[in-house]
């Protein structure tokens, strides 16, 4: 998902209450720097599952950014607990799960725990901002079933708007295509032979 500059300029987390869960000082420091850079002022810094559970039970939260807490994966368990055990509105809070490794099994586990997105570390501020805005604008219904509580897992990702890629190789491909097109247009065109008169 690519954002235009005007979209980013209007977005501010100043009034949001944000739960941050990361058990490493470096990870927490990076999260705090990113979200405060987006205007956030009300942060709940949690370095353990127990701290995060206490915050979720005693404060209203608008967003949770939760580390998976590898190798145990307790971050996924916290998200599942948040969805099933907390009162409204916290059980509906958007959840972004961060992790250094994103094998398919972890992506599935994050989705099945009730997370909105899994984001690979190292975190880039623009990626986190794009995911927050996407969650804020998306209208994925919330599901409650015997085995799952969370945002509808069946949603279609149409990719970046206007067919613009978001990876370096996509940009390189687009640049190569543009260069080839410019070279074709710059080639001298053969003049058409004059028409024969039939008179």
C-alpha–C-alpha distance, residues 52 and 14, integer Å = 21
Q: Residues with Cβ < 8 Å from 5, sequence gap 6 or more?
A: none
What is residue 129's predicted lDDT score, i.e. its pLDDT? 92
Check if the beta carbon of residue 79 is closer than 8 Å to that of residue 94. no
Poorest-pLDDT segment among 2-16, 124-138, 184-198: 184-198
What is residue 168's predicted lDDT score, i.e. its pLDDT? 57
- pLDDT at position 36 over 90: yes
Poorest-pLDDT segment among 70-79, 150-159, 189-198: 189-198
pTM value surpassing 0.85:
no
Q: Which two tokens stand for residue 164?
A: 């613009």
Rounded to an integer, the average pLDDT of 158-164 is 51
Domains of the chain and any CATH numbers: 5-151 (3.40.50.2300)
Q: List pLDDT tens digits, range 116-131.
A: 999 999 999 999 999 9
Q: HEC states along the chain?
A: CCCCHHHHHCCCCCCCEEEEECCCHHHHHHHHHHHHHCCCCEEEEECCHHHHHHHHHHCCCCEEEEECCCCCCHHHHHHHHHHHHCCCCHHHCCEEEEECCCCHHHHHHHHHHCCCEEEECCCCHHHHHHHHHHHHHCCCCEEECCCCEEECCCCCCCCCHHHCCCCHHHHHHHHHHHHHHHHHHHCCCCCCCCCCCCC
- pLDDT at position 5 over 50: no
What is residue 3's predicted lDDT score, i.e. its pLDDT? 47
What is residue 21's predicted lDDT score, i.e. its pLDDT? 98
Q: Which two tokens stand for residue 157?
A: 């990702």
Rounded to an integer, the average pLDDT of 133-160 is 73
Percentage of residues in the chain with pLDDT exceeding 90? 50
Q: List pLDDT tens digits, range 87-98.
A: 999 999 999 999
Check if the beta carbon of residue 114 is closer than 8 Å to that of residue 76. no
What is residue 121's predicted lDDT score, i.e. its pLDDT? 92
What is residue 150's predicted lDDT score, i.e. its pLDDT? 81
């Amino acid at each position: 998902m690519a954002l235009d500059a005007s979209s980013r300029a209007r977005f501010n987390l100043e009034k949001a209450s944000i739960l941050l869960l990361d058990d490493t000082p470096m990870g927490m420091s990076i999260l705090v720097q990113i979200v405060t850079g987006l205007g956030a002022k009300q942060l709940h810094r949690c370095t353990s599952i127990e701290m995060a559970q206490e915050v979720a039970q005693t404060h209203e939260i608008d967003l949770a950014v939760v580390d998976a807490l590898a190798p145990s994966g307790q971050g996924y368990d916290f998200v599942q607990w948040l969805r099933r055990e907390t009162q409204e509105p916290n059980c509906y809070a958007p959840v972004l799960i961060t992790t250094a490794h994103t094998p398919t099994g972890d992506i599935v586990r994050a989705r099945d725990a009730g997370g909105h997105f899994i984001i690979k570390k190292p975190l880039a501020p623009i990626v986190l901002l794009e995911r927050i805005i996407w969650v804020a604008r998306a209208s994925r219904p919330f599901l409650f079933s015997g085995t799952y509580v969370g945002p509808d897992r069946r949603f279609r990702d149409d990719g970046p708007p206007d067919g613009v890629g978001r990876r370096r190789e996509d940009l390189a491909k687009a640049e190569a295509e543009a260069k080839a097109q410019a070279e074709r247009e710059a080639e001298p065109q053969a003049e058409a032979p004059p028409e024969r008169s039939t008179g």
